Amino acid sequence: MKEANDIKKVERPKSTVVRNYFGTYKVIRRTSKRVGNKIVPVDVEIVGEIKNNKFVEYPHPVPVGQKKKAKQNIIGIKDYGNIALFTNNSNDLLVSLNDVFDKKAAETLYSMAILRCIYPKVSNNVLNHYFMTSYLSEIFKNADLSIDSINDLFYTLANNYQQIETFMDKRIKKYKYPNDTFLIRLRRYQKPFAYLKDYSKVIDFSFDYNFFTVYDFATEQPISSFPYKGEWFSNKVLYEYLANDAYFDVLIYLGKNHNDENIEKAVKETTNLNYIKEIDVDESWIKDEMFDKNENMMFLPNRTIGYIAGKKFKIDNKFIYVFKDHEKNVNEHKHISSNVTFDDKFTPRNLIEQMHWFGVMAIESNMDVKLEEIYMLYQQHPKIGKSFNFSKNIEDKIFINPVDYAWKPVNQFILFLAEILNWEIQNKLIELKLDQKYSFETLLDYLKTYKKQLNNRGKWELSSIPDYVNELINILKI
């Protein structure tokens, strides 16, 4: 309380008050209006905040919503089963959020991440509907997913991004172990206009920016996600992440279509960092003869037919691994043979030339390892890519007004939380072998039928459900 009183004594513009917004003290300009025979104060706009016992003015004041709250009807039945699946299996994440953010912000972020997993296609402005019609609204009464509250939260975190950085730092310390291998995937965002180029208090997201997301290579668990400005990417970005952790193996994956030369240069010049990248096959130096010798054959387990042939080359300070997958070669031959149509532009000769590359893949790396090792490392990426694509597919469906583009990094943070939740639940389903019987979407649909409803005494009780859903409930211990 003493701290709050001291903050209120900080010199600030006249006709303003100080309010606590998710742990940040905002300075709000007020006016007044007559209501009947009384003069009533009215909040107009947020003009700045108290930071380090000083008033920091915003370049552009933020209007404060002044809508009257409509009287809400009591919702007497709410989704429970699909919500309990997440809340029962992710308490560690909620504890981690509460360790960094205030209670309201932590519960709001956690609730948004859960709803993102269950309803990946909905936009932020309708999340409150799903929140209020689910049992989340009963568990987390401090959380507020109204669009005004979400806007306030996003604005606060965009201005105090160090809170998210603190969350990531704590998570790295918690999940890094000696001899672990981490895989890094890069995601690029492009901003159409520099709306906040003059707003130095917001982390500089005014131009194109990127995130690198770090996964545990063995468990595929999302570990951390950090933004960096595209044109600022250098060895420093990676060194800052790798600082004092030289005993960790880090493997960075550069996608085949990754065209940022600065990033590639930084990756390749960073000490103690391994990388792999699929590259376009070059017809001038890849020959069939490479795959004819028995010593280049790789016989891998769990293959239905054929084999994989491989060859390793050293070019300058990097290694090129070329593979020809006999199984893919045969399948692509079958597919094109049944669908090909010849004309002046595509002749049988063109087909023969194209078939030469069926099943061929080339990988560049700075690692000098066996053919089998590099192949198995590369095959791990699609698995981790599921998490990457999970959040990307959600992100692609979310409409964000260009004016609010600087808040996108906060939205990315929520998507990262959703990735963690998705990883937790998918592993739980695998552990219980439910993944062999149900798709994730079907299981959520079944669990949604398990609801809680208010009885005439104002108590919540469970609804009746079909036997096959009850079987699921018992297995999941919901």
SS (H, E, C) 74-135: CCCEEECHHHHHHHCCCHHHHHHHHCCCCHHHHHHHHHHHHHHHHCCCCCHHHHHHHHHCEC
Residue type, 160: N
Structure confidence at residue 246 (pLDDT): 38
Q: What is the pLDDT of residues 174-198, one digit of tens each?
A: 876 555 555 555 544 433 333 222 2
How big is the chain by its Cα radius of gyration, in Å?
Answer: 27
Instruction: Please write the tens of the pLDDT for every residue from 145-158.
Output: 998 888 888 888 88
Point out which residues pair with 324 in neighbouring strands: 309, 360
Distance CA 273, CA 243 (A): 12
Res 240: pLDDT: 55
User: What share of the chain has pLDDT > 90, as a percent?
Assistant: 19
Residue 172: helix, strand or coil by DSSP?
helix
Q: Which CATH architecture fits 162-431?
A: Alpha-Beta Complex (3.90)
| Tens digits of residue pLDDT in 334-352 | 777 666 677 777 777 777 6
Give how far the C-alpha of residue 166 lies from the chain's centroid of Cα atoms, to the nearest Å. 17
Structure tokens at 323: 């593979």
Per-residue pLDDT at 200 exceeds 60: no
More confident residue, 237 or 138: 138
H or E element that contains 39: strand 38-51
Instruction: For residues 56-71, give the mean pLDDT.
Output: 67
pLDDT band with cut points at 50, 70 and 90 for residue 107: very high
Helices of type H across 196-325: 235-242, 261-269
User: First vs last Cα of the chain: how many Å apart?
Assistant: 41
The C-alpha angle with vertex 151 and arms to 150 and 153, in degrees rounded to 5, equals: 65
**What's the whole-number mean pLDDT along residues 55-62?**
81
Which residues are CB-contacts of 188 (< 8 A; sequence separation ≥ 6)? 208, 210, 230, 260
pLDDT score, position 131: 95
Mean pLDDT of 233-253: 51
- Token pair in block for residue 450: 């398990």
Sheet holding 360-365, edge to edge: 222-229, 209-216, 181-189, 249-254, 273-279, 360-365, 318-325, 308-315, 297-298
d(CA 478, CA 475): 8
- pLDDT at position 477 is 92
Residue 228 pLDDT greater than 70, yes or no: no
- Give the model's pLDDT for residue 205: 35
Q: How confident is the model at residue 105 (pLDDT cuts 50, 70, 90)?
A: very high
- CB under 8 Å to 177, separation ≥6 — which residues? none
Tokens for 425? 């639940």
* Four-point Cα dihedral 412, 413, 416, 421, nearest 10: -130
Q: Taking 90 as the threshold, does the pLDDT of residue 233 lie above it?
A: no
> For the chain, what percent of residues have pLDDT higher than 70?
65
Q: Do the strands 38-51 and 54-63 form a parallel or antiparallel pair, or are they unpaired?
A: antiparallel
Q: What is the pLDDT of residue 20?
A: 82
CA atoms of 107 and 8, how far apart (whole Å) = 27
User: Which part of the chain has CATH 3.90.350?
Assistant: 162-431
**376-402 mean pLDDT:** 51
